[in-house]
Amino acid sequence: MKNLIIVLVVCSKCGAHLGHVFENEYGPGTRRYCINAVCLAWQEEDKIKRFE
């Protein structure tokens, strides 16, 4: 088993644990994001702010 680096995702305001990110087994450079659904603010697609 290779070493696995897990990055914790925390709230920038209160420090609450929101989930984690780690390398995916499907290939180099791919990541798996495991974010707690209760932490997400769902929005209608036409109201999403896009950052490019």
- For the question of residue 34 being annotated catalytic, the response is yes
Contact 18, 35 (CB under 8 A): yes
Contacts of 32 (CB under 8 A, 6+ apart): 21, 22, 23, 24
Using the 8-state DSSP alphabet, how is residue 27 labeled?
S
Catalytic residue among 11, 14, 34, 39: 34
Catalytic residues: 34
